A and B are shown apart, each in its own frame.
Chain A
Amino acid sequence: SSPVKVFGHATSTNVARVLLCLEEVGAEYELVPVDFLAGEHNTPEHVQRNPFGKIPAFQDGDLVLFESRAIARYILRKYRTPGSPDLLGENGGAEEAAMVDVWTEVEAQQYHPAISPVVFECIIFPVMRGAKTDQKVVDESLERLRLVLGTYEERLSKSRYLAGDSFSFADLNHFPFTFYFMATPYAALLDEYPRVKAWWEDLMARPSVKRVCANMPTKFCF
């Protein structure tokens, strides 16, 4: 069977989420570039794949998907091999999958709203629009992030990974925006939360993460 296709570019946080899952399960894939800055995401061809005109889009034979977390779940189910980790926890008891879902939602609903504005203000908006950093937004977000990280520090004192003893989809989902956060001037914030820092370093040491990182910049000039 032919490799699956991911439409987007490797530097995009949501594309990285999908690529990470593909690397985790060892599935073959083809990254098809979508030139965001040239407006390619708004072309009829792309909108057919993602009606909201966003990246990534994904194709596996006749199946076309969008929304990176949905694509990720599909990949982890469809391409999981007997030897590879059960990142969704769906082959364990009901409890394992439920805890993965809880902390996956926590990333989306608690962590992401706190950390992403810092990444947008410090990197994405300056790079893509030449915009100046709104320091007020950054400061408010960092305050929020401190509270979230405090809760994570407490959680990781009781649990090796977020959802339990095993690395899971929940941990993995933190990679894209945290990676870029660590390229902002505020990376040292993680040092104030030693268990979170250790958890992050553990994640960064995974072979799949290293392969995805290789295509993501850490230095930005603007």
Chain B
Amino acid sequence: AMSPVVKVYGWAVSPFVARSLLCLEEAGVEYELVPMSREAGDHRKPDFLGRNPFGQVPVLEDGDLTLFESRAIARHVLRKHKPELLGSGSPESAAMVDVWLEVEAHQHHPAAAAIFVHCIVAPLLGGAPDQAVVNENVAKLRKVLEVYEARLSASRYLAGNDISLADLSHFPIMRYFMQTEYASLVEELPHVNAWWEGLKARPAARKVAEFMPPDLGLGKKAEQL
């Protein structure tokens, strides 16, 4: 019997959906992306809320398993198909991956995402960035990236010698962040910049980036506003 194809529900421009797709691509797992419309409010409709009661994309269906929260989806896909990307060899190597996964979630993402939302999303929706918020987050991200520069000067990848989910998890939001005028924050740090260049050159990253145009597919709409 054919094994059921993994399904991902969501819009691929979302950095959270993209995180899930990136893991599936890295692990070489066949999947079906079930398109949803943010505009039509598909994520608020009853049948989607039955999958994720928090009404957010992505959702991943793997046989009988229905998962949400992109970082949990990422762990599941890799645990099942490519556990070395979670540092599965030992509690110590797994711990290093977990450390930098938490850093991504709690130190990197909030600042990078705020800049993305204000500098890319807001203008596309006809709004203006709150420059005070942008400045605050640029200052935060600068400090965070200084730590990354020191880390990547001492370690080939964030968790150690081998690439892991800790590195990959940064790709989606950075893909957008690097389109803003603040890309220089990364470019001016040689090790962070080299690490970023390496990430974005990965075939899986290039594949996923195809679904992540810098204008989030809203460009034509913005022109019409």
Interface residues of A (CB under 8 A from B): 51-52, 63, 65-71, 73-74, 77-78, 94-95, 97-99, 101-102, 104-106, 108-110, 151, 154-155
Using known A-B contacts A73-B95, A95-B65, A106-B54, determine if residue A52 contacts B79 with beta carbons closer than 8 Å: no
Give CA–CA (A78, B101) in the complex, Å. 19
Q: In chain A, what residue has the closest Cβ to B88? A: A90
- Chain B residues, Cβ within 8 Å of A101: 69, 71-72, 75-76
Q: Are A51 and B95 in touch, CB under 8 angstroms?
A: no
- Chain B residues, Cβ within 8 Å of A66: 99
Give CA–CA (A173, B53) in the complex, Å. 20
Could you jot down 7 A-B contacts, CB within 8 Å? A52-B144, A65-B95, A67-B103, A68-B102, A73-B94, A98-B67, A106-B54
Interface centre among A51, A52, A74, A98 (most CB of B within 10 A): A98
* CB of A88, distance to nearest CB on chain B (Å): 10
Q: In chain B, what residue has the closest Cβ to A62? A: B92
Q: Does B98 contact A (CB under 8 A)?
A: yes
- Chain B residues, Cβ within 8 Å of A154: 53
Q: Does B106 contact A (CB under 8 A)?
A: yes
Q: Are B69 and A74 in touch, CB under 8 angstroms?
A: no
Q: Are A67 and B54 in touch, CB under 8 angstroms?
A: no
Q: Are A98 and B65 in touch, CB under 8 angstroms?
A: yes
Known A98-B72, A101-B71; further 16 A-B contacts with Cβ < 8 A? A65-B96, A65-B99, A67-B99, A67-B102, A70-B102, A71-B95, A73-B94, A78-B91, A94-B80, A95-B64, A95-B65, A98-B75, A98-B76, A98-B79, A110-B54, A154-B53
Q: Does B128 contact A (CB under 8 A)?
A: no
Q: Are B53 and A51 in touch, CB under 8 angstroms?
A: no
Q: Which of B134-156 contact A (CB under 8 A)?
A: 144, 147, 150-151
Give CA–CA (A28, B95) in the complex, Å. 19
- Chain B residues, Cβ within 8 Å of A63: 92, 95
Interface centre among A94, A102, A104, A109 (most CB of B within 10 A): A102
Size category of the binding interface on chain B: 20 to 34
Q: Are B71 and A69 in touch, CB under 8 angstroms?
A: no
Q: Are B67 and A67 in touch, CB under 8 angstroms?
A: no
Q: Which of B53-82 contact A (CB under 8 A)?
A: 53-54, 64-65, 67-69, 71-72, 75-76, 79-80
A-B contacts, CB under 8 A, total: 76
Q: Contacting B53 at CB < 8 Å: which of A71, A109, A155?
A: A155
Q: Does B107 contact A (CB under 8 A)?
A: yes
Q: Are A151 and B53 in touch, CB under 8 angstroms?
A: yes
- Chain B residues, Cβ within 8 Å of A106: 54, 69
Q: Contacting A70 at CB < 8 Å: which of B80, B101, B147?
A: B101
Q: Contacting B71 at CB < 8 Å: which of A73, A105, A151, A155?
A: A105
- Chain B residues, Cβ within 8 Å of A78: 91
Q: Contacting B79 at CB < 8 Å: which of A67, A97, A99, A110?
A: A97
- Chain A residues, Cβ within 8 Å of B72: 98, 101-102, 104-105
Q: Does B29 contact A (CB under 8 A)?
A: no
Give CA–CA (A97, B67) in the complex, Å. 11
- Chain B residues, Cβ within 8 Å of A73: 94-95, 98
Give CA–CA (A68, B92) in the complex, Å. 15
7 closest A-B pairs by CB = A105-B69, A67-B102, A70-B98, A101-B72, A74-B95, A98-B76, A78-B91
Q: Which of B23-79 contact A (CB under 8 A)?
A: 53-54, 64-65, 67-69, 71-72, 75-76, 79
- Chain B residues, Cβ within 8 Å of A65: 95-96, 99
* CB of B165, distance to nearest CB on chain A (Å): 12
Using known A-B contacts A66-B99, A73-B94, A98-B67, determine if residue A52 contacts B53 with beta carbons closer than 8 Å: no
* CB of A220, distance to nearest CB on chain B (Å): 25
Q: In chain B, what residue has the closest Cβ to A152? A: B53
Q: Beta-carbon contacts of B84-122 to A below 8 Å, as 1s and 0s?
A: 000000011011101101110111000000000000000
* CB of B137, distance to nearest CB on chain A (Å): 16
Give CA–CA (A106, B53) in the complex, Å. 11
